[in-house]
Amino acid sequence: MESTNIYEQEKGLAVLDYQNYPEGIQEYMAVEEAFLLKHLQGAKSLLEIGCGDGRYLEMLAPVVGEILGIDYAEYLVNVSRKRTNNLPNVDVIHGNAKDLSSLLSKTYQFATLAWNTIGNMPPEIHPDVFRGLSQWVEERIFISTYQCSDAVMQERLKLYKNCGYKVNSINGNKVIMEDGQHTAYAYPINYFQELLESNHFSMETYDLGFCGVMIVGNNQNF
């Protein structure tokens, strides 16, 4: 049977391909990249949750001391490993972000969940993901996600169409693809505020164009 995780197939790469991005999402990606490059310049260590095809591993390796990428799609772990095999300060492991305590053996200064990685995880695992982040990330987590509005939904629908994904239904800010192959979620800011505060993070937000928002959690525990 075909995998129901779109990122376990080549098809999953379409959503990581700039050529498929409508204008609003191109702007979101460009502002996201500039934001992360600026804020992670000179960082000691970084955990990239949902590293996908490794674009940030490659982009940030020259400015960050050490990076660990984690992804639960084995297919993309292999793509990332190939892309970074000449970068000695980058490592990539296969695993689920809800299991950080069994995957990690040391803490990291920062973590990123870029390009709506958070919206690719079912909400049931979010409490475990945020609990793990509060234990394993010393300073700050950077979560980039979609804003919730009709205009952003229109951009998202253009993206899925360009990627060749067929949308089965839309439920609020959640888009369910045909055959249950993928569900892409987006959440309002107060959803993150609760998750962050209940795990001892304070929150700041920054707009990433009209489509995206960077949610920054500052760990109050360390």
Ligand X SMILES: C[S@@+](CC[C@H](N)C(=O)[O-])C[C@H]1O[C@@H](n2cnc3c(N)ncnc32)[C@H](O)[C@@H]1O
- CB of residue 89 vs ligand X: minimum separation in angstroms? 18
Residue 210 to residues 152, 172, 214: CA-CA distances in angstroms?
7, 18, 12
Choosing from 121, 141, 175, 211, the residue that interacts with ligand X (CB under 6 A) is 121
| Helix H or strand E segment including 65 | none
7 binds ligand X (CB under 6 A): yes
Question: Of 12 and 203, which CB lies nearer to ligand X in the complex structure?
Answer: 12
Q: Which two tokens stand for residue 88?
A: 């000695």
Number of residues forming the site for ligand X (CB under 6 A): 24
Nearest to 177 by CA among 168, 185, 186: 168
Residue 212 to residues 10, 54, 61, 98, 200: CA-CA distances in angstroms?
25, 20, 24, 24, 24
> What is the DSSP track for 179-198?
GG--EE----HHHHHHHHHT
114 binds ligand X (CB under 6 A): yes
Give the interface segment with ligand X, choosing from 38-46, 60-68, 116-124, 147-155 (CB under 6 A): 116-124
Binding mask 29-68 for ligand X (x = CB under 6 A): --------------------xxxx--xx------------
Question: Of 18 and 222, which CB lies nearer to ligand X in the complex structure?
Answer: 18
Beta strands in 128-200 (DSSP E): 137-146, 167-171, 174-177, 183-184
Distance, CA of 214 to CA of 8 (rounded, Å): 26
100 binds ligand X (CB under 6 A): no
Choosing from 67, 76, 153, 177, the residue that interacts with ligand X (CB under 6 A) is 76
Choosing from 3, 9, 11, 16, the residue that interacts with ligand X (CB under 6 A) is 16
In terms of C-beta density within 10 A (0-12 exposed, 13-18 middle, 19 or more buried), how is residue 133 classed? buried
Q: What is the DSSP letter of 170?
A: E
Choosing from 21, 72, 130, 142, the residue that interacts with ligand X (CB under 6 A) is 72
120 binds ligand X (CB under 6 A): yes
177 binds ligand X (CB under 6 A): no
Instruction: Return residues touching ligand X (CB under 6 A).
Output: 7, 15-16, 49-52, 55-56, 70-73, 76, 96-98, 114-117, 120-121, 125
